[in-house]
Amino acid sequence: MIDCLFCRIIKNEIPAKSIYEDEKVLAFEDINPQAPVHTIIIPKRHVTSLKETETGDKDLLGHLLLAAKKIAEDRGLGESGFRLVINTGPDSGQEVCHLHVHLLGGRRLGWPPG
């Protein structure tokens, strides 16, 4: 298995502030938050990026989005709103090669992104 930072967080080899977990996904606080709420939601199974997903992953992808929505509501963002980001590939700035959803909220977010 490749040495993957987020797989190491799943295996508790690297500490992270976990805020949600179920059989398929784990969510934890971003180490360098860009908003009052900045949570990372990942599949427990290693997937390099959205680019590597296929039709057979649609349950997992739906699960990730529904988990993100639940966490956003639990964090009080249901009314104020929030943003989900899935960086994919070099132009996006993806740094960690394990599929992840950023949940950002708690402040007004600019658009378009930089």
Q: Which of residues 5-24 bind ligand 5GP (CB under 6 A)?
A: 5, 14, 16
Backbone angles phi, psi at 40, to 5 degrees: -110, 130
Kindly provide the residue ranges of all beta strands, DSSP E only, lying in the chain, ordered along the sequence: 18-21, 25-29, 37-43, 82-85, 101-105
Residue 100 annotated to the active site: yes
Report the candidate in 48, 23, 28 with the shortest Cα–Cα distance to residue 38.
Answer: 28
**4 contacts which partner out of Zn ion, ligand 5GP, none, CB within 5 to 8 A by kind?**
Zn ion
Give the Cα separation of 25 and 39 in Å (integer). Answer: 13
Work out what residue 82 binds among ligand 5GP, Zn ion, none; the CB cut-off runs from 5 to 8 Å by kind: none
- 66-105 positions binding ligand 5GP, by CB under 6 A: 87, 93-96
Residue 7 binds which one of ligand 5GP, Zn ion, none, with CB within 5 to 8 A depending on kind?
A: Zn ion
Residues marked as catalytic: 100
